[in-house]
Chains A and B, each alone.
Chain A
Amino acid sequence: MTSKTRFLSIPYVVWMAIFVVVPIIMVVVYAFTAHDGSFTVDNFRGMTDYISVFGRSFYLALIATVLCIILGYPLALVLSREGPRLQRVFVMLIMLPMWMNFLLRTYAWMSILEDTGLLNALLTKLGLPPIKIINTSGAVVLGMVYNYLPFMVLPIYSVVSKLDRRLVEAAEDLGANPFMVFLKLIFPLSLPGVLSGITMVFVPSVSTFAISQLLGGSKNLLLGDLIEMQFLGSAYNPHLGSAIALVMMIIVVICMYVMNKFGEGEETAVVL
């Protein structure tokens, strides 16, 4: 490898400039201009109508992320304690659903959760009262947890399964009970996995539009729906859409920055 090899990076640098940097600059420019191209901040002022949508999106995404940790963390721990062959099978089983189109899987949840759907049919058979869940924010959270749970489990699992067993034994020899072992040893060491899991669940949850449209009905509009409507939907206005996307992006970046500071700036994010 000679020093000339470094010129191989030029094509991709140009590519990134055109297809990554310029598009983001365009979002910023669109957010600050009106239809005739003049500078304006009206797009941001007009956003105050949508504060409730911002609130709902971040609130539901937060609940979904917390639920993913509550379900995903123990799952990753349980997996890492199985034998090697079972571990392999279970990890495969967690990844396998991702190979079926997520829209279809979410659509299948519609069939399950509908008022006259399969879940209520089952409940009636068991003599229980039917539940109303479709078109509620609960159904949207369920859809988020369902779709993004693997993104929480896999990074945590990949950290926990590489954990040195001798450390645990050492802690036990020194008199730590299982709870202390978890609190003082396993949890701090698994934090990088949890942090990248949080990012991988929160970002798609807060910006989704398909899940909320399928499971949330018309009442549970999320940021993703709002942006989609401004670009390809009924309320065509890419300037307002860009402004919403920009604000969402900035809030997400700030959240992630604060969280990573909180996690002592772990730079070794786990990439699948």
Chain B
Amino acid sequence: MMRKRRSTVISRIFLAVIFIFLYAPIFVLITFSFNSSKSRTQWAGFTLDWYAELFNDASIMNAFSTTLLVSLLAAAIATVFGTVTALGFYCLRKRWRSPLMAVNNIPLTNADIVTGVSLCLLFVFFGSRLKFNLGFGTLLVAHITFNVPYVLLSVMPKLYQLDRSLIDAAQDLGCTPARAFLKVTVPELMPGIINGAIIAFTMSIDDFVISYFTAGSTVSTLSMTIYAMTRRRVTPKINAISSLLFGAVLVLLIIINVREIRQEEAKKRAEAKLRQGAMQK
């Protein structure tokens, strides 16, 4: 008994140390977004100036909108593209599907820098021949390329879980194949599709290395702007925008989790009621 309690204490201390390690830099970042001097280490007093100035900083706001636009577009296109491809792959023979899935996994297992550099070579080589420059277009293509594999990997398992007889049943009952697809297949795949879209969006918004090699010098994502600044000096305005984004994600996650917990509790209550009803009978 004694030993069990001691091991719980040790594991709690371990957890605390890990979480301090994970959150120390975030704490520093957020704290210094309110610092009234530009110093990264000396606290000079509280201010909200950086948050106010943020919205007047054209380069940060541009980078932010580029990041948001490329992430949303790439995630949306990759979701549709990946889902359609998953359907196609599902109907292929295994002999064809296995090597194609292996190629699909290349961007996932390769180091980001190799993916970035290889796409950079491609874009520069064909850009000089077909007269286009690196920019938003190449950035978007690169993001779609590394997003589709995630969508494919999260939709494929749902296809294998799909009960084919449901589709047959729908068609027996008079659905056209297209209607059966929309009314039966798509809803069954939905959790996988949504999951894939979320992963794709997260990967896009988080990416630095691949964007860095494929965006050229005219457009810049938030990560690229931050990287350029870390080479010189980071303005606290960047701390401010990151703190805002972090806060937004935190609120979103809390809302989702609270909703899930509530739904589970409601389900449990309903089940308990049912059981009680059955007992009384």
Contacts and interface: CB of A to CB of B under 8 A. Distances in A.
Nearest to A77: B11
A83 interface: no
B32 interface: yes
B255 interface: no
Nearest to A116: B41
B221 to A, nearest CB: 10
B245 to A, nearest CB: 7
A164 B64 CA distance: 45
Given A26-B122, A93-B19, A107 B230 contact: yes
Given A96-B253, A210-B227, A7 B88 contact: yes
Interface stretch (B21-29, B45-53, B271-279): B21-29
B206 interface: yes
A111 B28 contact: yes
Nearest to A26: B121
A130 to B, nearest CB: 13
Contacts of B199: 272
A118 B41 contact: yes
Interface stretch (A166-174, A182-190, A227-235): A227-235
Interface string A207-229: 10110011000000000100110
Interface residues of A, number: 84
B153 A20 contact: no
Could you say which of A10, A105, A107, A118 has the most chain B C-beta atoms within 10 Å of its C-beta?
Answer: A107
Given A19-B119, A105-B29, A8 B88 contact: yes
A63 interface: no
Interface string A96-137: 111111111111111110101110010000000000000000
A1 B92 CA distance: 12
Contact of A78 (B14, B23, B106, B122): B14
Contact of A75 (B14, B85, B153): B14
Interface string B90-126: 1110000000100110111111111101111110010
B213 interface: yes
A93 B26 CA distance: 12
Given A24-B106, A100-B245, A111 B40 contact: yes
A252 interface: yes
A43 interface: no
Nearest to B107: A20
Contact of A6 (B25, B91, B111): B91
Nearest to A272: B199
Contact of A232 (B92, B212, B245, B249): B212
B253 to A, nearest CB: 6
Contact of A21 (B19, B24, B103, B202): B103
Nearest to A103: B226
B206 A102 contact: yes
Contacts of A155: none
Given A27-B118, A104-B29, A231-B213, A94 B22 contact: yes
A44 to B, nearest CB: 17
A12 B88 CA distance: 9
A252 B114 CA distance: 12
Contacts of A93: 19, 22
Contacts of B177: 1-2
Interface string B193-215: 00000010010001011001100
B230 A3 contact: no
B227 A103 contact: yes
Interface in B170-224: 177, 181, 185, 199, 202, 206, 208-209, 212-213, 222-223
A23 B230 contact: no
A102 B208 contact: yes
B65 interface: no
A101 B181 CA distance: 40
Given A30-B121, A100-B26, A88 B15 contact: no
8 contacts: A5-B91, A9-B85, A11-B84, A12-B81, A101-B222, A102-B208, A103-B208, A232-B213
For the complex of A and B, the 3 pairs showing the least CB-CB separation, nearest first, are A9-B88, A8-B88, A23-B118
Given A11-B84, A249-B110, A271-B153, 8 more contacts: A7-B88, A15-B145, A97-B22, A108-B25, A111-B32, A116-B41, A118-B28, A210-B230
